[in-house]
Structure 1
Amino acid sequence: MRRAHSVEQVRAAENALMASLPEGALMQRAAAGLAYAVIGHLRGRGLGGAYGKRVVLLVGSGDNGGDALYAGALLARRGARVEAWLLSDRAHARGLAALKAAGGTVSSRVVSTGSTTGADVVVDGIVGIGGKPGLRPEAEEALEALAGVPVVAVDTPSGVCVDTGEIDGAHVSADLTVTFGTYKPCHLLDPTASACGTVQLVDIGLDLPTPMIESLEAADVAALVPRPAPDGHKYSRGVVGLRVGSATYPGAALLAVAGANTGLAGMVRYVGTASEWVKRRHPEVVGDGQAQAWVVGSGSADGANSALAFARASGVPLVIDADSLRPLNGPLGVPAILTPHAGELATLIREDRGDIEARPLHYARLAAQRFDAVVLLKGRRTTIASPDPDAPVRVNTTGTSWLATAGSGDVLGGLIGSLLAAGLAPIDAASAGAWLHGAAATLASDGGPVTASGVAAAIPAVIRSLPAVSPPSL
């Protein structure tokens, strides 16, 4: 699992570690990891190692500037032509001395655009994790002068909001971000995740508390996916019911059922106007009856309110999507997962869609607490918040841009419902479902277009590809 910690958590852990180390040792660890990451980046672009490459360091007054300077010294000793542009009247003194001793050059001003021809990589050491959002004019000038040169950011891209994932003003857009000790929220959350490029974690030995953000990986999902017991039967594996679709949108019913009918639950029930369509496509799906979880809302049109009322009265956990989100005005009294996209959440909580897209962490948390439910806010990086304000928020990183296709949300709702019926807690059902959904889209896409039906069909293959889970020891 990838874990992201807040600035406050990271600083406390760094201070505790530094108290047990010789002065400067922690920065040297970080700088060494950064230097080797820069070399790896150059090699990945087919440029070989550091020897003969031109490296420009953009250096601010904080510790990130010190990391960049020490890394620059290591690169200079490997034969790189390293120059530091100092963007503040202060710089890390020992790092500066180390760079000069290794043969690097230093300029206290931004070098003219013409002289940047031939630069191979820029190292962004402008602002550290404690910096304010946005960039000062001299930093913007430097970035403009180096436009087009690949950027490696130190810890986080300068100018972003580290803890919130928000963007407020000018910022660095990196090709690679090298972070130390732990991920930071901005590495996982949109919109800042897009500014980070590829993120590489360097272990520097921090002892960290419960994270602020989590992101499941394949091994985590493998441990969560329900597997039949040797003596299990269809009812013990869970029954998921769906009240979705309408005469106007029968396809939504077919897609939601396809998401649910992947073998993760023991039985799938469907109740609605598309029953004949569902029977022809999915003959194993049965009709009305008791269920361990209900999925409502997808394509339900005028029947959305009644579907929600029936499912809510059943007292079992719910997945609420699309049309059935509209009548919500407070806690439902049963465990629930709400699955809105930004536009649906904007209508639900009467906020601006653009604000929600700019602040998904804030609004997912707000909605989760308002409705006392898990909120899965769909997006490029889907954000999943529980109503517990102290619990980590989960961010899903699987998927492909081809997944932005009609009906994919219907498949996701059905898939999450099957996991919920099989016994997963709402936060786990939502986050594992989002991971499987994104991974299935990537598999089905194979780099090209994909349909929602193709995503549903690929889910079993993704489950088969998960790492083996060791049986519990006796």
Structure 2
Amino acid sequence: MRTAYSVQTVRAAETELMARLPQGALMQRAAAGLAAACADLLGRVYGARVVLLVGSGDNGGDALYAGARLARRGAGVWAVPLGARIHEGGLAALLGAGGQVADDPFEVLAGAELVLDGITGIGGHGGLRPDAVPVARAARGSNAVVVAVDLPSGVEADSGEVRGEALRADATVTFGTYKQGLLIDPAKEYAGTVRLVGIGLEAHLPSVPDIEALQHADVAQLLPMPTGESDKYRRGVVGVVAGSARYPGAAVLAVAGALRGGAGAVRYVGHAAEAVIARFPEALVHGGPPSKAGRVQAWVVGPGLGEDLDVVQDVLDSDVPVLVDADGLRPLDPSALRDRAAPTLLTPHAGEAAALLGMPREEVESARLASVRELAARYGATVLLKGSTTLVAAPDEGRSPVRVNPMGTPWLATAGSGDVLSGLAGSLLAAGLEARDAGSVAAYLHGLAARHALTDGAPITAYEVAGALRSAWRDVRESG
């Protein structure tokens, strides 16, 4: 599992660690790891041309000391100061190793093979300063590999927001722990490939992180598996209330996801029974209302309902976990959700989240972490915020980390994809997973299935994603 912490937590851990080390030792550890990563990227250090973009903070010092190490190995290294001051010890080390301060930043950038971005670090806010923008643009427009020091300059370390001009990196070398913004879009898209360098910080960080991202082994431990005592009812029955005369496909796709999610049976209620049975004869169908359809261990309600929204409250009145998606999100009352005894899982995309919060969609997309936390708190529900990075937050006032899904692909932005995800997550709820785990595992498998479906790089459909869930499940089990 990858974990990330807030700037405040990282600063506290660094202060505690530095108190136990000789002065400057922590920066030297970071610089050594940074130089090694740069050497790997260059392949050949001797004779390479390296440019350091150096701000006033510790990131500038890290870049200078790393540059000194590269210069001692025969690289030509030039520093471009971009702050009110420059780290004196780092500059002395660079000059002593044969490095130089550039007279013309644009001239050295034009011939650079690698650029180290040490302009701003985790304390930076609001994008690059105006004087740094032309240099950053020149770096990005060159043929050089751009390597960010700890975090790309111009992105927000805690929120993942990009509030102004930022320098997009090909790779980021981060120290001690992941920073939140490295895992959350839009900042994540600026980080490139992220390499974590240990500097001894781990022992000084809290045991519970602020952000976490599941990996194969974590998902494998959470997957529901039948035992010798299992039957279809012990494995869980998930009810799906989806589709309409206008949108029968939503029902088919939601049931497709549910059948592949680990529950023992799927009970469908709605106006698309014929379409569902035609595709999935194993589904159990009922004309409704949901409260009369028979026992279930969890409900999924909302995909493709259109205007038939009375069923949403009928489902919410049940005493089992409920997943609400798509059209089902429209009539939600926060107070009614907070009064539910059983868990509720909401799965909005950014537009639906904006409607629930009463704010512009652009604000949700630019501040995804704050938005998912606010939704969870306001509605008293676990929230899975879909998007380029899917986030899952529990309504526990920050006591558990927000989960970030690393498995998404832009090809999932296709009609019906969310219906498959809803059915899958609902099935995991019925199989006994807690809401936060069900949402996280479903998002992971959903993204992995899309990657499996992309065998030839051509566009995929939601139904193909559903079909690839079996191979994604097997992939996770075999690797975990």
Structure 2 length normalisation: TM-score?
0.93
1:263 positional shift: 5.3
Write the distance in 1 (CA, Å) between the matches of 2:83 and 2:409.
Answer: 40
Does residue 423 in structure 1 map to residue 421 in structure 2?
Answer: no
1:112 positional shift: 5.0
1:150 positional shift: 2.6
Does residue 215 in structure 1 map to residue 216 in structure 2?
Answer: no
Identity %: 56
| SS in structure 2 at match of 1:269 | strand
Write the distance in 2 (CA, Å) between the matches of 1:285 and 1:119.
Answer: 61
Does residue 299 in structure 1 map to residue 309 in structure 2?
Answer: no
Write the distance in 1 (CA, Å) between the matches of 2:429 and 2:84.
Answer: 57
1:138 positional shift: 2.5
Write the distance in 2 (CA, Å) between the matches of 1:428 and 1:17.
Answer: 33
Q: Does structure 2 retain, via aligned residues, the 8 Å contact 1:70–1:99?
A: yes
Per the alignment, residue 288 of structure 2 pairs with none
**Which residue, out of 152, 161, 164, partners 2:159?**
164
| 378-387 vs 415-424, greater mean Cα deviation | 378-387
Deviations 1:299-347 (A, max 9, x none): 01122x2221221122111110111100012142131111111111222
Does residue 39 in structure 1 map to residue 44 in structure 2?
Answer: no
1:423 counterpart letter in structure 2: G
| 265-274 vs 407-416, greater mean Cα deviation | 265-274
Tell me which stretches of 4 or more aligned residues in structure 1 moved more than 4 Å. Answer: 467-470
Correspondence list, 1:302-451, <5 A: 302-303=307-308, 305-331=309-335, 332=337, 333=340, 334-390=342-398, 391-446=400-455, 447-451=457-461
Q: 1:370 to 1:459 in 2, by over 3 A?
A: same
Q: Does structure 1 retain, via aligned residues, the 8 Å contact 2:109–2:138?
A: yes
Write the distance in 2 (CA, Å) between the matches of 1:375 and 1:160.
Answer: 25
Per the alignment, residue 18 of structure 1 pairs with 18
**Which residue, out of 137, 141, 164, partners 1:144?**
137
Per the alignment, residue 466 of structure 1 pairs with 476
1:104 positional shift: 0.8
**Which residue, out of 109, 112, 115, partners 1:116?**
109
Q: Does structure 1 retain, via aligned residues, the 8 Å contact 2:80–2:105?
A: no
Q: Does structure 1 retain, via aligned residues, the 8 Å contact 2:258–2:427?
A: yes
Write the distance in 2 (CA, Å) between the matches of 1:144 and 1:266.
Answer: 55
| SS in structure 2 at match of 1:58 | strand
1:271 positional shift: 1.0
Per the alignment, residue 180 of structure 1 pairs with 175
Write the distance in 2 (CA, Å) between the matches of 1:386 and 1:329.
Answer: 18
Q: Does structure 2 retain, via aligned residues, the 8 Å contact 1:402–1:448?
A: no
Q: 1:190 to 1:263 in 2, by over 3 A?
A: closer
Deviations 1:242-265 (A, max 9, x none): 010001000000000000011511
Q: Does structure 2 retain, via aligned residues, the 8 Å contact 1:124–1:154?
A: yes
Per the alignment, residue 125 of structure 1 pairs with 118
Per the alignment, residue 94 of structure 1 pairs with 89
Per the alignment, residue 56 of structure 1 pairs with 51
1:34 counterpart letter in structure 2: L
| SS in structure 1 at match of 2:383 | strand
1:30 positional shift: 0.8
Structure 1 length normalisation: TM-score?
0.95
Write the distance in 2 (CA, Å) between the matches of 1:136 and 1:469.
Answer: 45
Q: Does structure 2 retain, via aligned residues, the 8 Å contact 1:250–1:299?
A: yes
Write the distance in 1 (CA, Å) between the matches of 2:137 and 2:270.
Answer: 58
Q: 1:61 to 1:387 in 2, by over 3 A?
A: same
Q: Does structure 1 retain, via aligned residues, the 8 Å contact 2:299–2:426?
A: yes
Q: Does structure 2 retain, via aligned residues, the 8 Å contact 1:223–1:469?
A: no
Per the alignment, residue 235 of structure 1 pairs with 233
Per the alignment, residue 278 of structure 1 pairs with 276
1:330 counterpart letter in structure 2: P
Write the distance in 2 (CA, Å) between the matches of 1:269 and 1:298.
Answer: 15
| 284-293 vs 137-146, greater mean Cα deviation | 137-146
Q: Does structure 2 retain, via aligned residues, the 8 Å contact 1:126–1:158?
A: yes
2:232 counterpart letter in structure 1: K
Per the alignment, residue 101 of structure 2 pairs with 106
Write the distance in 1 (CA, Å) between the matches of 2:254 and 2:420.
Answer: 5
| SS in structure 2 at match of 1:464 | helix
